[in-house]
Structure 1
Amino acid sequence: MKNIFLVSLLLVASAAQSQNQTEFDKSFVSIGVIVSDLDAALDFYTNVIGMKETGGFNVNEEFALKTGLTGGIPFDVKVLKLRDDPNATEYKLMSFGNKKNTSETHIQERNGMRYITLFYKSTDDVLNRLKANNIKLLGETPITLANGKSFILVQDPDGTFIELIGN
């Protein structure tokens, strides 16, 4: 009986260890988004969408050039998360004063990152904030999905599509 218990314990430990084996150091993705107006984007994502600003950092000219991120143009980054948790995905906003993107109405109109999906316990509060801030709801949203959850589609100030899904 002891042997069966020990073998079972070793199998469970081995399975747990193999699931943790990956080349990645972190279990989340950190996404950088260039916006035309950093203040407007920060206001939208924090006060309307409900993200939390959890930090930020500056990239100086020398580092921007050495890393190849820019041709030596310094920039500031604001880090947002859905919750202040070290394992939460980071949504990093930065601006270079570029003009807004051309207006688009659907995700298929351009290559690259086109949308994000956020999952809410309830979409009631975010829907109220969207309406209070006169944010246009796209399509015929909100609609009810097959699983009973609500689906809302909006765009941020630069045109990135945002799916909001919840009860």
Structure 2
Amino acid sequence: MSDSDTALSAHHFGITVSDLDAAVAFYRDVLGLEVLSEFEVSGEGFATGVGVEGASAAFAHLDADGARVELVSYDPEGADARGGAVNDVGATHLGLAVDDVEAFYESLPDDVETLSDGPQTTASGSTILFVRDPDGNLIEIIET
């Protein structure tokens, strides 16, 4: 794709949530992301575009150091796919970097679910910690 009119660039990373207010609170208060905007979208063009008859949605855009994270809560809500394992085919996760994963882990509220008992250092030398948001979506915290 050499035509500049068709070249792709990153715009946002989307995560579907069941309770937008709870998700925004988690991503803002626990992960420290800045809320950029909150808005609602509906209408035939939206419903057709997302392939869900009669759909409307509430959105929040947050800033992760220049990467836009989009949280979206749909009406009607789709099937519950939360809590899957990171190795499930089709699984996705959001990766966020910190200077000190151990300090981040120690700062987490007690009710935040993690996949391991604290940060782990991989064979490649990366220190990682996977956490789940209120809907069970996976977030990898990696030390840089």
1:108 aligns with 2:74: no
2:101 corresponds to: 123
Closer, same or farther: CA 123–25 of 1 in aligned 2, 3 Å: same
Give 2:52's aligned amino acid: T
Give 1:162's aligned amino acid: I
Q: Helix, strand or coil: the match of 1:96?
A: strand
The structural deviation recorded for 1:108 is: 2.1
Give 2:83's aligned amino acid: S
2:18 corresponds to: 36
Q: Helix, strand or coil: the match of 2:87?
A: helix
CA displacement 1:7-39 (0-9 Å, x = unmatched): xxxxxxxxxxxxxx684364x241222111111
RMSD: 2.8
Structure 1 or 2: more strand by fraction: 2
Segments of 5+ residues of structure 2 without an aligned counterpart are none
Structure 1 or 2: more helix by fraction: 1
Contact between 2:102 and 2:119, CA under 8 Å: does it hold in 1? no
Segments of 5+ residues of structure 1 without an aligned counterpart are 1-20
Closer, same or farther: CA 127–139 of 1 in aligned 2, 3 Å: closer
Query: Matched residues in 1 for 2:82 and 2:91: separation?
Result: 15
1:50 aligns with 2:32: yes
Query: Matched residues in 1 for 2:60 and 2:82: separation?
Result: 24
Query: Matched residues in 2 for 1:78 and 1:165: separation?
Result: 24
User: What TM-score does the superposition give when structure 1 sets the normalisation length?
Assistant: 0.67
Contact between 2:20 and 2:58, CA under 8 Å: does it hold in 1? no
Q: 2:7 aligns with which of 24, 31, 36?
A: 24
The structural deviation recorded for 1:118 is: 0.9
Aligned length: 140
Query: Matched residues in 2 for 1:74 and 1:35: separation?
Result: 14
The structural deviation recorded for 1:128 is: 3.2
Query: Matched residues in 1 for 2:124 and 2:82: separation?
Result: 34
User: What TM-score does the superposition give when structure 2 sets the normalisation length?
Assistant: 0.76
Query: Matched residues in 2 for 1:25 and 1:114: separation?
Result: 20
Contact between 1:101 and 1:158, CA under 8 Å: does it hold in 2? no
Closer, same or farther: CA 129–101 of 1 in aligned 2, 3 Å: farther
Contact between 1:75 and 1:95, CA under 8 Å: does it hold in 2? yes
